[in-house]
Structure 1
Amino acid sequence: MFVSLEGAWALIFGVSSGIGKETARALADAGCNIIGVHFDLAEGQQQAEQYAKTLGETGVEAHFFNRNVAAKQSREELIPVIGDLTSGTGPRVVLHSVAYGTLTSLLPAPGGGPGVTAKQLTMTVEVMGHSLAYWTQDLLKALLLPRGAKVFAMTSVGGTRVLPGYAPVSAAKAVLEAHVRQLAVELAPWGVAVNAIRAGTTITPALRKIPGSEKVIAHCREVNPGGRLTLAEDVADAIVTLSSTDSSWLTGNVIGVDGGEALVV
């Protein structure tokens, strides 16, 4: 059964750019209030604050917090705030769309970089992978994951394939997908669905940072059966649709939102 998102709450990690930003807009258009967490320096923080105001002008509440999503202190500070804002009900939608990590190879490249360090690898997996598990633990402990809630985590084809300079992020995505499967099973008794969303090639600030991204963009634009790249709006629309049901039976999956791109690349 489909339900209205009017007056519900969404918690979005990575709300200030890319798919997180566009999903916040789509959910706000559906009447959903937004709690956003992002990690930006001065200029980015100002832009995020302005975006929160823009969302608020649509008639919903929008509260953004500039915090390190992987820090325990951030969870300790924000979990009570989330409880207060949602009047103790918690968010109906949780989106983990965090793109912050090291882009490099595992091993030293001839004439290139030195390869990933232990600190870089640990940080990348912690931020982009393990933080989903930590936030879910604390939300559940605070009784802020209501029955019918939907948890989404953004993954990529890099979680199962080898891409140049993507090794630490690839590891993080593989960890993230493993956590999605485990959380789906462990949260099933609570009626909470957990899925990974595998977007097709989408031009975002994070994609631009990947070595050789222009070649990837050109290739995927050429071969995508839909004749174009995936847009952040495509992913946002899918998340809104999946969030608009009380059913928790679609869970533990990696859902492709890519126009069939992964079938042909």
Structure 2
Amino acid sequence: MNGQKKPHVLILGGSKGLGWGCVEKFCREGYPVLAIHRDRRSDLDGITAKATALQANGTALEMYQMDAFKAASRESFIQGLPDTVKESGIGVIVFSIARGNLGKMDSLSSADLRITSEAMAFVLQDWVVALLEAGCLASDCRIIAFTSEGSSRVMPGYGPVAVAKAALEAMIRQMAVELAPRGIRANCVQAGVTDTESLRMIPGAEKLMEYAKKRNPNKRLTLPEDVANATYLLSLPEAAWITGNVIAVDGGESLS
């Protein structure tokens, strides 16, 4: 990643929240960005409008409305990558997919847990392996996945996501060790409580945000740009010795 030509950034879940924050940040820093998302038709006009606004500033942004969970879609995407992507390589993979179930453990099935873990953890493994096999990753690729404090702390109704985030953190640790010979670094960013569409789906989200503000020494919520800035820092050459970690980006929220 030290070359003059910046590698591509692939963002899985790049249309809203933390993922979109990363789209904006990497575009502003001059990186070509490939953002994969799957949204309701009613949301597409708004997503297209904000992407077009970024592109109007000369940024190399491509948005892909597709199902990241289907092998056929993944294979089609990789096969369709232009030579410019394969030449520079994908230098950063940001994993920001938020999709799954919520609910208390006395009413959930194993299918609820499995579906959520597949969407919010296991599919990252499929993408990394597919891109490796296709030779599309840069020699110093960074894998950065978003987790939450709920991976290790009980939050009512958060069970399926908690299971998925714990699995995701374990996957990142394994990747950091087993992909190190390929020059790949892998880390999790543990975002503080952030007012996003996904957060508002959690039971008691308003109370959670109020509590987070009181708990945070900076007395505010984490913003998508806070997380995007940290993600960008982890992509820099100077961060090459950071791997296998869960890095809290929360303004000190998790300290108390």
- Do they fold alike, i.e. is TM over 0.5? yes
Measured in 1, the distance between the counterparts of 2:190 and 2:171 equals 15
2:241 corresponds in structure 1 to: 249
Q: How does 1:75-224 map to 2 (within 5 A)?
A: 75-82=74-81, 84=83, 86-107=85-106, 115-224=107-216
TM-fit CA distance, 1:8: 2.8
Task: Work out whether 1:227 is the aligned partner of 2:227.
Answer: no
1:238 corresponds in structure 2 to: 230
Q: Is the 8 A contact 2:25 2:232 kept in 1?
A: yes
Change in Cα spacing, 1:230 to 1:132, as seen in structure 2 (3 Å) is same
TM-fit CA distance, 1:52: 2.4
Greater Cα offset, 168-177 or 88-97: 88-97
Q: Is the 8 A contact 2:217 2:252 kept in 1?
A: yes
2:37 corresponds in structure 1 to: 38
Q: Is the 8 A contact 1:9 1:92 kept in 2?
A: yes
Greater Cα offset, 2-11 or 55-64: 2-11
Q: Is the 8 A contact 1:22 1:236 kept in 2?
A: yes
Q: Secondary structure at the match of 1:148?
A: strand
2:73 corresponds in structure 1 to: 74
Percent of pairs identical after alignment? 38
Q: Is the 8 A contact 1:12 1:96 kept in 2?
A: yes
TM-fit CA distance, 1:146: 1.2
TM-fit CA distance, 1:239: 1.1
TM-fit CA distance, 1:89: 3.2
Q: Is the 8 A contact 1:5 1:244 kept in 2?
A: no
Measured in 2, the distance between the counterparts of 1:42 and 1:12 equals 20
Change in Cα spacing, 1:78 to 1:237, as seen in structure 2 (3 Å) is same
Change in Cα spacing, 1:79 to 1:237, as seen in structure 2 (3 Å) is same
Q: Which amino acid aligns with 2:88?
A: T
TM-score, with normalisation over the residues of structure 1? 0.91
Q: Gaps spanning 5+ residues in structure 1: where?
A: 108-114
Q: Is the 8 A contact 1:4 1:244 kept in 2?
A: no
Aligned length, in residue pairs = 256
Q: Which amino acid aligns with 1:73?
A: A
